[in-house]
Amino acid sequence: MHATATARIIDGVAVSAKIRADCKGRVERLARRGIKPGLAVVLVGSDPASAVYVRNKERACSDVGIRSFRHDFSADVDPETLVATIERLNADPGVDGILVQLPLPPHLSVARVLRTISAEKDVDGFHLYNVGGLVVGDTVFPPCTPYGVVKLLEHEGIRVEGQNVVVVGASNIVGKPMALMLMQRDATVCICHAKTRDLAQFTILADILVVAAGKPNLILPQMVKTGAVVIDVGINRLADGRLVGDVDFEGVRRKASSITPVPGGVGPMTVTMLLVNTITSAERRQAE
Ligand code: NAD
């Protein structure tokens, strides 16, 4: 009977390791031409989660041979100072990618900061030029988290074309670009969000369910079609310190065909795709 079946666990750490090995090869090829890719990492304020993310990104860079340049600012930094720093990094030939860690303190305009980053160095893929590229299916820097999900699906041999995909979450960073990237790959895509009425009536139709809402246990087994692929992007810290996604992992794994764990699923892929985008930028600039 189906009741005892459990899903294949998609190992984001293992897929990441394969892609990072490929990154090392690309960095070595660039080194033979005298080029060392560089990523500028801008951190504003002292949010502990942001500090952890930035440290992880720096460590990942050094593991594959990318130089990283850290620019720290206090939470009350003057917007003009921040913009001037980004403009300097735009002009710096040693910098291939510029990453401004989000969120920013409320007195800073995220839109202005992201617009200031040169589209040529926008390795997070948030500049309007790159967002537009995503809409028409022609982008150089796909945003790292949805790009990581696409790569996970590819590595697992999961077909996207013609599949019903439901994306829960419609943020500019995850949900919307995720939906566009899967639509570009000929999936039939439905986007749900906090105002969606009766979420389950949509999620139950999904052959591939991608969840990026930031709500523990939002997706329960009865909301998932038997045999669905479930990708959990959510990262939530519970009161007892545990890190969980948005999906009831233990329940849903008995119904899905494949599922990503949290941690160890999408998270490692996000950082890996940042490395990929930074190397791509260096290769493009070298080819100019
Ligand atoms: P966000 O808060 O900007 O957006 C959340 C989206 O989910 C919104 O569109 C909102 O309408 C929707 N939503 C919220 N509650 C909902 C509900 N009850 N039902 C349906 N939809 C609901 O968040 P984000 O930046 O897109 O991140 C989403 C989650 O993914 C967070 O947990 C975040 O920590 C995580 N995240 C993980 C990675 C990674 O690398 N794994 C990267 C980025 C974000």
Contacts of 207 (CB under 8 A, 6+ apart): 163, 164, 165, 225, 228, 229
Positive or negative torsion for Cα 270, 275, 276, 281: positive
Q: What is the pLDDT of residues 72-99, one digit of tens each?
A: 999 999 999 999 999 999 999 999 999 9
- Report the DSSP pairing between strands 97-100 and 236-237: unpaired
Residue 237 Cα to ligand 1 midpoint, Å, equals 13
Q: Identity (one letter) of the amino acid at 22?
A: D
Q: What is the pLDDT of residue 4?
A: 56
Average pLDDT per consecutive 10 residues, the chain (288 residues; last block may be shorter): 76 98 98 96 95 95 97 98 98 98 96 97 97 96 98 98 98 98 98 98 98 98 98 96 97 98 97 98 89
Structure tokens at 163: 């599949």
Residue entry with tokens 């820097």: 141
Atom 17 of ligand 1 has which residue's CA nearest to it? 194
The helix/strand/coil state of 75 is coil
Residue 243 Cα to ligand 1 midpoint, Å, equals 15
∠ Cα 65 260 254 (to 5°): 160
Pocket, ligand 1, Cβ cutoff 6 A = 145, 168-171, 173-175, 192-194, 196, 199, 212-215, 218, 233-236, 266-267, 270
Return d(Cα 86, Cα 226) in angstroms, integer.
48
User: Of 208, 108, 205, which Cα lies nearest the Cα of 152?
Assistant: 208
- At 64, give phi and psi (nearest 5°): -105, 0
Q: What is the pLDDT of residue 1?
A: 45
Taking the CA of residue 271 as reference, the ligand 1 atom at the shortest distance is 40
Return d(Cα 98, Cα 121) in angstroms, integer.
6
Atom 42 of ligand 1 has which residue's CA nearest to it? 145
Return d(Cα 100, Cα 105) in angstroms, integer.
12
